[in-house]
Amino acid sequence: MRAVVQRVNKASIEIDGEVVGSIERGFLVLLGVHVSDGFTDADYIVKKISGLRVFEDENGKMNRPLSDVNGELLIVSQFTLYGDARHGNRPSFIEAALPETAIPLYEYAVKRLSETFRVQTGVFGADMKVSLVNDGPVTILMDSKKTF
- State the catalytic residue, choosing from 78, 117, 120, 121: 78
- State the catalytic residue, choosing from 6, 79, 120, 121: 79
The DSSP symbol for 97 reads P
Cα-only R_g, the chain = 15
Residue 27 falls in the annotated catalytic set: no
Residue 117 falls in the annotated catalytic set: no
Other Cβ atoms within 10 Å of 57 Cβ, number: 11
Please give the distance of CA 63 from its chain centroid, rounded to a whole number.
20
Please give the distance of CA 49 from its chain centroid, rounded to a whole number.
8
State in Å, rounded, how far the first CA of the chain is from the last one.
12
Size (the chain), residues: 148
Residue 80 falls in the annotated catalytic set: yes
CA dist 72 to 14, 28, 65, 115, Å? 18, 9, 11, 12
CA proximity to 77, closest of 115, 48, 118, 109: 109
Known catalytic residues are 78-80
